[in-house]
Structure 1
């Protein structure tokens, strides 16, 4: 399934930017403003990774240890300049606290790449790979470059079509509802019929399918949503 990211960030502007950038790069973000709320959200949302800003008001090393020790969860710390100046390097690098850390500020593309690297390092699974290839290389999704190919030909996808393809391709054989696709591709604040996603699927099929009316990759599950039927070649790097 698509990786879920919990962001613990007290500054609304930073939280919005981080969430938007994660969503654009193929993740499902949830944002909370406090560490203790983050603990509850971990139980409720079951994220694959938690991003914790060390500047949140109730930040503590006990909180880090608690988050770090939850099974099958990863923790990435965001650290400001003042924090880096005031803290011993041995502390901030300790495996007892986190799986990784990043200094602030950082470029927009750095955080998604670091998240992807931590997840792929910890779990050798297709959803964390940079490239997904299907049907002996017939279709490829390049997560790093946000592009897709049929054989050697690059497919001219819109950002919405790319995000739709990525979510489906990361869960081959799994039926995903229209509402789930709409929330992820169009955003949870989108106002409109969830069947709006049907129009985007139609456009996507026209670009990746040999016979769009008889698709081999994106199958309709009537009354529910869609399922990606490509056979994953391997777990790419």
Structure 2
């Protein structure tokens, strides 16, 4: 899975950037570096990048704006945000940015490697030869192309959003706890706040629900988690 995967580290503090690069290269990743958001965007536009590790506090345009630009132009790219403890997690994972995961500084480099691998697993799930198409009107998932449609219009999803919606639609009526979703989508090696599930669900609702403030398809099971409505 790691062989040939290209990671871009966008971090203005050189010693942190080099430290991240060394640990990723030890695992066999090809690592590119950028000290500014502008340079990071240029690299993504000229080279194939699978995952971007993106610091929020950057000179020039900040990580939020970089994430927004990358999501618009490369919706299926993996993005992991690096943040200080003082940052609001809701803002980091906010609807307008669309990052897949986040890590709070200071962090264990081994954990970052695990997060990158977990994200790549979500992005590289095997293409399935049988039953490629799942239809749950008005939605359709093409598991081979990893595309999601509502009423024949493609809905752009991040790799994490795609994994969650696929889990829901393949299991209509089943209640999933936040921990179950974390284990299935992020992996058992995930260490972090379960709020990441809630924020991704909010983003999904903003994209697929007719009225996100009064969701019909993704039901909240209070005190537990979420369920896809079984029609």
What is the TM-score with the length of structure 1 in the denominator?
Answer: 0.48
- Structure number with greater CO (CA < 8 Å, separation at least 6) is 1
